[in-house]
């Protein structure tokens, strides 16, 4: 796996996230030399659906994509549903696409991409129940372990984390992608 020394990676989430979809990519970013930052609309700490708690580093209302090299969006139904209704979170996600920076999304985390209008003409995967929503937002949805499309990395479930983590690091190491836009 490549090194991403010095890369700053935002993890956007709130309560109800899928625990391993935060902890596994977070550890991978650290192991490969990057610096992860937990960004959330919630203050204090967040709690996953299986009980993992983690301190919030930065409120999404004051966060700027300018300060990060990449974004990771863990899944979890409750997490994803709450984030897509938060205007600051949607704007934060959209800014990564506007700046052509890598975005890695797993499971239900892809929901917010529809609200950020970042799916037209993009190829990705997700938890199968999101298929119709993502297709209706303009995406080509496929059922594959991991999909990479111009800096957008997507996977379906925690079972896909090894492949997801490897491609996430690869795309972060490559940096900006001209095709990563909305």
152-172 tens-digit pLDDT: 999 999 999 999 999 999 999
By DSSP bridging, strand 152-155 and strand 140-141 are unpaired
Note the pLDDT of residue 101: 98
Examine residue 3 and state whether it is found in any structural domain, yes or no: no
Binning pLDDT at 50, 70 and 90, where does residue 1 land?
confident
- pLDDT for residue 74: 98
Q: Is residue 180 part of a domain?
A: no
Q: Is residue 141 part of a domain?
A: yes
CATH code assigned at 91: 3.40.50.880
In which band, very low, low, confident or very high, does the pLDDT at 47 lie, cut at 50, 70 and 90? very high
- Give a yes or no: residue 144 inside a domain: yes
Supply the mean pLDDT for the chain. 97
Does the residue 142 lie in any domain?
A: yes
Domain that holds residue 108: 8-174
Mean pLDDT of 124-136: 98
For residue 138, name the pLDDT band (cuts at 50, 70, 90): very high
- Is 52 a member of any domain? yes
Tell me which residues are annotated as active site.
Answer: 108
- The arithmetic mean of pLDDT across residues 4-14, rounded, is 98
Mean pLDDT, residues 26-34 taken together: 98
In a domain, 2, yes or no: no
Domains of the chain: total = 1
pTM above threshold 0.75:
yes
Q: What pLDDT, on the 0 to 100 scale, is given for residue 80? A: 98
Long-range contacts (CB closer than 8 Å, 24 or more residues apart) made by 85-93 = 86/14, 86/41, 86/60, 88/41, 88/60, 88/61, 88/63, 89/12, 89/41, 89/60, 90/115, 90/116, 91/116, 92/10, 92/12, 92/39, 92/60, 92/63, 92/64, 92/65, 93/12, 93/118
């Amino acid at each position: 796996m490549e090194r991403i020394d010095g890369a700053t990676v935002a993890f956007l989430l709130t309560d109800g996230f899928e625990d391993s979809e935060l902890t596994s990519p977070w550890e991978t970013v650290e192991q490969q030399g990057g610096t992860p930052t937990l960004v959330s609309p919630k203050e204090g700490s967040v709690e996953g659906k299986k009980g993992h708690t983690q301190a919030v580093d930065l409120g999404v209302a004051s966060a700027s994509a300018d300060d990060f090299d990449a974004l990771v969006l863990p899944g979890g139904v409750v997490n994803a549903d709450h984030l897509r209704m938060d205007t600051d979170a949607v704007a934060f996600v959209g800014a990564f696409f506007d700046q052509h920076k890598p975005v890695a999304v797993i499971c239900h985390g892809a929901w917010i991409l529809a609200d950020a209008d970042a799916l037209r003409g993009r190829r990705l995967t997700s938890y199968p129940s999101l298929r119709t929503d993502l297709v209706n937002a303009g995406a080509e949805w496929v059922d594959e372990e991991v999909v990479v499309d111009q800096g957008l990395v997507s996977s379906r479930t925690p079972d896909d984390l090894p492949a997801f983590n490897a491609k996430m690091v690869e795309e972060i190491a490559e940096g900006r992608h001209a095709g990563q836009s909305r």
